[in-house]
Structure formats: C-alpha cells, structure tokens
Structure 1
C-alpha cells in the first residue's frame, strides 16, 4: 500500500480558490448579480439607516445603544450574504475577516457592545450605505443594455402590432436610411446586434465596479489578518526551531566533546604522575590524550558546521552543496542551479534540507542511489531529494524531519514527503525568495 505524507508549514489560504464561470454562463451570472444588486442594496440601506438613525436619536437612552448594535449586526448579515454572492455568482475569492467577539461567559452588555469596537463591523455598515450607489448603477446599466438589445433584435417581429403614422420618424429615418417598416426593422436589428455584442463588456464593467468595492470593504481585511497570522506563526516556528537547535547543540556537546575533554583531563593527570615512575607508560598515555584531543577538535568542527557551515559562509551555497554531496556515502546524482547570491536564511535552509535528507538516506534508507535537485526560480528555491531505499520515513520516527519542518516554517517554506514502504522516499521542499 502506498502512503503519502504531506507536511505544509505555510498557513492555508483563507478560502479555497473559487471557480469562475466562463462564456455565456459568465455573462448570465454577472447579469443576475447586477440585477439583484439594487434590491438587496436597497433593503440593506433602508434597514441599516433606519436602525442607526433611531439608535443615534435615542443614544442618550440605553435602548439607543442597543439599536446601534442591532444595526451593526444587521449590516454584518448583509455583508456575509454579499460575500456568498461574490463566491457563488462571480467565482471570486471573498474570505470572511475575523470579527471581534466577546469572550465565552461574557455578560449581556459586553456581548451587546462588543460589535461597536470592531473595525470590520463598521466597514460592513459603510457597505450597506454606499453599496446602494454602485448597486443602482450596475442594475441600471445591465437592465438598459439587456432591454435595448432584446428590443432591437426582436423589433422585426413585434413592429407589426405598433401603429405607425405617416409623419412619424423612426430610428431608420433619423440615421438617414429612409422610412418604412423594412428600413426600421433593419436599423433596429443592427442596433440590437451591436448592443448584444457589447453586452458582455458593459456588464463586466459594472460588475467589476460593484464587486471590487464589495471586496475592498468586506474581504480585504481578511488578507491582512491572514498575513499577520502567517507572520506570527513563522515567528513562533523560528523560536521553536532555535530553542530545539540550542537544546540539541547542548546535548551534543555534553555527550561528545565534553566527555572527551573530561577523559583528556584524566589522561593528562595520569601521565603527569607516570612521568617520574614509568616514562614509557606516560608516553603511551600522552599519545592517547593526543588522539582524544584530535577527535574532540574534529567533533567540535562537525558541531560548528551544524550551526553555520564555514564553506557556506565563505564560498556560497553551490560550493557547500558540492562538498556535502562529494562526502556522501551513497552515490549521488545532482543538479545544482542556484545564483551566486541568495538571502542568507534561504541558503541556510536549503543547506540543512539537503544535509538532513542525505543523513536520513545514509542512516535509514538502505538506498543504492540518491538524486538531489536544487533549482532556484523567480520566487522560490525548490529542493528535491529522492532515493531508492526502503521508504517508510515519518516525522514521528525521530528521523529529524520534524525539526526540518520547524526550520522551514521559520522561513515560510513548505515540506512534502512521499515515502511509501519499499518504494523509496521523496523529500520536496520549497523556500520562498
């Protein structure tokens, strides 16, 4: 059975991408949107303005404040309905912003007065008032265009029931095409064809005006709130990744170099005592101490590469990756296509994605070959590491993938892992530029 695991460190979009209608369906949907805009906007305007007017008039009384709050809630309802219309009839993304809500268990007055301090609620009120202007304009233009186009295209049929006087001037005579039913039918047919051809453009224009104002007032804050939440999540992920890196570094130093240094101190102390009594044993002890010192230095260098690889800092990402791939115990086929200069945080993230993936391949995958691809595009760097090993990689197994996920979250990156049993592992990371 194939198991695919997807880890996404970026926040999900506020709403799924809507599907816009096309062709004739789009014209019909946009026409219906415009024709329904006026009655809906009229009802919203009347209800909200009456409610708010009464509330302001009675503001010195308790009931007036409650009426204002009720008017704001009514405006919220019309705003939610308009977002539904934008998504359903136009196929536009219209996310709903987060409203300020009273905490659970709050009293009646706090729940009633909370909408008064919510900025988005007041934007909903503004929409209920100004939406009538664009809604009326969209309704009028759409209705006139449809009626004029339909009238011109069908004039040849129903003109027989229209009484015509001898001296009556019609469209044909005004345009200089002559008088009579035939020229009049042809002139109206031509006018109807022109209006029918321009109908999609006219409807699209007024739809864009009305819908754009609705989006700015009713949904633009949702994008801002989403961006703020994304930045906060990235900051939290960076803090978690930094804390975990420090704890891991402290543990590695304690388990490795610190223990070697303790042994080195003991060996040197023993050699000091042996110098006078047994010089040969003292020399052997000193040789062991030198070996311990060299191993300690090598381990400290390895730990320093885990913090900030010197080659990455000195010569750039491409050189650091080439050296890493050359030292891999598993044969590597690579494609490195990155510019000489990338943001430092991007270079570090790319380096550690490749390093952690190759470490997992060497320790756990039992692979015969691995393919590494690092390609920089206009907006992001894609890192793909694929092996032909046993598969079954999972962050819960402690293979370092969970820490890698945190590191990518700190730079707004995404990580996808596909690792079916006995079918190899594919690690695909994307780091935005």
Structure 2
C-alpha cells in the first residue's frame, strides 16, 4: 500500500516578506526625512552665507551644522533598525571646556563630518525621492492589479475610448482590461522585493558613505593605535620578564661560579683534591647556566621555530610539556614570521599556565588554519577558575595578540575545564 503525503502550498518565505516590508518602510520614509532636511539645510546655509560678514552668520551656519547632525543621527538609526546594517556614528569635534560662545559656535564648522552631514541633507533628497517614487509605483501597481476589476465600473467610458489592453492588441472590454491589470500586478508583486531593495540600497549606500564612512576610518585608526600600544606593552613586558629571569637565574649562577673558581684557586696549593671537587661543581654550574640560557632564548626566538618551522616547534613544545599533551597541529607553510612567533608564544604561555596553575593531568593543543587566521585552542582538565586579572600570563597573551590584530578567548568555569582560544590573523600569504 502506497501512502501519499500531501504538502501545503508553497508560500513566500517569511524572511523575504519581512525584508520587503522593512525596505518599503525605509524607502517611503526616506523622502519624508529628506525633504525637511533639504529645506532646513538650504535655508540656513543661504541665510548664514548672507550674514557671514557679521557674527550672526557664523551662528546661523553653526545652527545649520547642528540641524544636519540631528538628521544624520536619525538616518543612522533608521539604517540600524529598518535595514539591520551597521551604521557607526563618527566622533564629532567637541568644544573644550572654558571656550567662549564664538569658539563654541565655530567648533562644528571646523569638523569635516559636519560638512558631510550638510552634504547629505542636500543630496539625500535625490535618492530619497527616487526611492519613494519607485516604491509607490510598485505598490500602486500591485494594488491596482488586485482591485481593478472592482473599481473599473466607475471609470468614464466614451465611444472612442480604448483601454490599454485594446491598444496592445489583447482584446477589448472590461474582462481584457481586468486580466491585463492583474498580470501587471503579478509582475509588480514578483519584482517588488528586488525593486525596493535596489532603491533602498542606493539611498542607504549614499547615506553610509557620507554619514558613517568616516567613522569606520576613525575605528581603523583607533585599532591601529591600540595594536601599536599593545605591541609596545608586550615588548616592554617581555623585556622586563627577560631581565628578571636573567637576574634571578643565570646571573646568580655566574656569581656563584666566580666564587667557586676563586675558592678553587686558593685550594690548589693547600688541598688539591678539594680544589678538584670545587672545579667539578663549577663545571656543573656552567652546564646548568647554559641550559637555563637556552631555555630563556626559546622564549624570545626558539631556534627550532626559526630552523624547522612552526609545525615542528609546536610539536616539540607539546612533547616537552610537564603535563601530558595530545597535539592536533596542522599549520600551512610560509606563514609570516610574526604569525609564527605569536602562535608559538600563545601555545607556550598557555601550556606554562596549565603546568603551573591548573592542577591538570592532561591537556590538548589544537592548531588549525581557518582561512585568513590560525585557530589556536589549548584545553586542560584542571580545576578551572582561570582569569586574566590573576596575572597568570593571560593578560600578556591578550596584549601580544592585539599587537597582530588577533583576539583571545577564555572559558574557565569553576571545576574546569579551561579552554584558551586565540585567532591569529595570517594576512596575505
């Protein structure tokens, strides 16, 4: 016996309907916003230019800039709410505390963004009118096609009057006209999402370039400045740590080595056997000092990383860990040196934290190529509770990653497990 499953009729996707309605609302309200913005901007600019020879002209121009700024903020809000797109607000130039009235009035006129806002208030009327017109025409065509059969009986009908259907050679009479208008309405309905999307995107694109483009540039400048500051902080912290490690380790051993060799020299004549034992101890100190210096050099620029690449260096790092580590490492060749160094530093610092603070019995290192970045993940089965504020090296990791535009993630609930993840941008390779 064969069972046939009846499927409901296909309907328009809910997301498409919602997007079309929001685009239509944005396009229709564009003209409503652009018209008063245009009128106020042109009026105030003209008045201010006419009075510029006196102080009142500056005040009027400043008022024009502030009015345009208000309309610009409203437009950014419309883009966020109706179009769901990012529309950052640029940092406006602000008057300093203690400035007088005239200086405060001039401050908006010294801000390039104020003139971009004024430009938008003027040119936005063009794209706003186009968006409004296209949206009204398409919705009118849909409404006309759906209802023409009803209201056509009230249209005047003369002896020589011919309808659109008759002019196109599709027949004459009310039925032909109704069918033609219905077909046009169907075409308008099917093309409505793309028509309103196109005009909304045109208007929003012009608005974004004038009202938010500078904000993106400011964000990029802040990001670069933050990365440069993070690089300096990370470098300074690394130098302080290196100085402290040398002072507490190799330097103390060298001092002891000098004292042992001096004692051995004094013992050579009176007690040669004791001098030989002292020299043996000094040789052991030399070996330990060399090994400690090698360990410190690995933290700066590991020879294995330089000679054989990141893959081998990370595998060696996992093999030398005090806690058993399961390594899942697959990185591409030809990465920039700063990417390799940063990735090695992240894994090294994370495994050091695991060994020193977590109380874990095992750990897992996962490093993979994620397209334009390396994904680094170090997980342990320790007690958890790790936090950057505790000074376990995680704050230094974040600084090091910020210096290369990377990011750090930390998940460490009480009781574990602790997961340290990082994205290290690789850039063009």
State the TM-score bracket (shorter-chain normalisation): over 0.9
Matched positions, count: 413
Q: Does 1:422 align with 2:415?
A: yes
Aligned to 2:304: 311
Q: Secondary structure at the match of 2:421?
A: strand
Point out where structure 2 has 5 or more consecutive residues left out of the alignment.
1-13
Q: Does 1:373 align with 2:404?
A: no
Aligned to 1:15: none
Question: How much has 1:199 moved relative to structure 2?
Answer: 2.0
Aligned to 1:150: 143
Question: How much has 1:355 moved relative to structure 2?
Answer: 1.0
Q: Secondary structure at the match of 1:351?
A: helix
Q: Distance in 2 between matches of 1:374 and 1:391?
A: 21
Question: How much has 1:104 moved relative to structure 2?
Answer: 2.8
Superposition TM-score, scaled by structure 1 size = 0.93
Question: How much has 1:396 moved relative to structure 2?
Answer: 2.7
In the alignment, which of 5, 26, 29 is matched to residue 19 of structure 2?
26
Aligned to 1:141: 134
Point out where structure 1 has 5 or more consecutive residues left out of the alignment.
1-20
Which region of structure 1 is more displaced relative to structure 2, 66-75 or 26-35? 26-35
Question: How much has 1:138 moved relative to structure 2?
Answer: 1.3
Aligned to 1:4: none
* Higher relative contact order (Cα pairs below 8 Å, separated by 6+ residues): 1
Q: Distance in 2 between matches of 1:424 and 1:86?
A: 42
Which region of structure 1 is more displaced relative to structure 2, 291-300 or 137-146? 137-146
Map 1:90-129 → 2, pairs under 5 A: 90-129=83-122
Aligned to 1:200: 193
Aligned to 2:294: 301
Cα gap change, 1:39 to 1:400, in 2 (>3 Å): closer
Q: Distance in 1 between matches of 2:190 and 2:157?
A: 29
Question: How much has 1:25 moved relative to structure 2?
Answer: 2.2
Which region of structure 1 is more displaced relative to structure 2, 298-307 or 184-193? 184-193
Q: Distance in 1 between matches of 2:297 and 2:98?
A: 53
In the alignment, which of 238, 243, 251 is matched to residue 231 of structure 2?
238
Q: Does 1:408 align with 2:413?
A: no
Superposition TM-score, scaled by structure 2 size = 0.93
Question: How much has 1:325 moved relative to structure 2?
Answer: 1.3
Aligned to 1:78: 71
Q: Distance in 2 between matches of 1:418 and 1:31?
A: 43
Q: Does 1:130 align with 2:126?
A: no
- Assess if the C-alpha contact under 8 Å between 2:76 and 2:88 holds in 1: yes
Q: Distance in 2 between matches of 1:221 and 1:51?
A: 24
In the alignment, which of 247, 257, 263 is matched to residue 264 of structure 1?
257
Which region of structure 1 is more displaced relative to structure 2, 115-124 or 266-275? 266-275
Question: How much has 1:167 moved relative to structure 2?
Answer: 2.1
- Assess if the C-alpha contact under 8 Å between 2:381 and 2:418 holds in 1: yes
Q: Distance in 2 between matches of 1:255 and 1:405?
A: 26
Q: Which contiguous aligned blocks of 4+ residues in structure 1 show a shift greater than 3 angstroms?
A: none
Aligned to 2:351: 358
Aligned to 2:205: 212
Q: Does 1:387 align with 2:368?
A: no
- Assess if the C-alpha contact under 8 Å between 2:146 and 2:185 holds in 1: yes
Q: Distance in 2 between matches of 1:26 and 1:364?
A: 51
Q: Deviation string for 1:178-234 (max 9, x for gaps)? A: 221121221222122222222222211111111110111111111111111011001
In the alignment, which of 220, 241, 247 is matched to residue 227 of structure 1?
220
Question: How much has 1:397 moved relative to structure 2?
Answer: 2.6
Q: Distance in 2 between matches of 1:306 and 1:201?
A: 57
Aligned to 1:5: none
Q: CA RMSD in A?
A: 1.4
Q: Distance in 1 between matches of 2:93 and 2:194?
A: 40
Cα gap change, 1:342 to 1:210, in 2 (>3 Å): same
Q: Distance in 1 between matches of 2:118 and 2:151?
A: 46
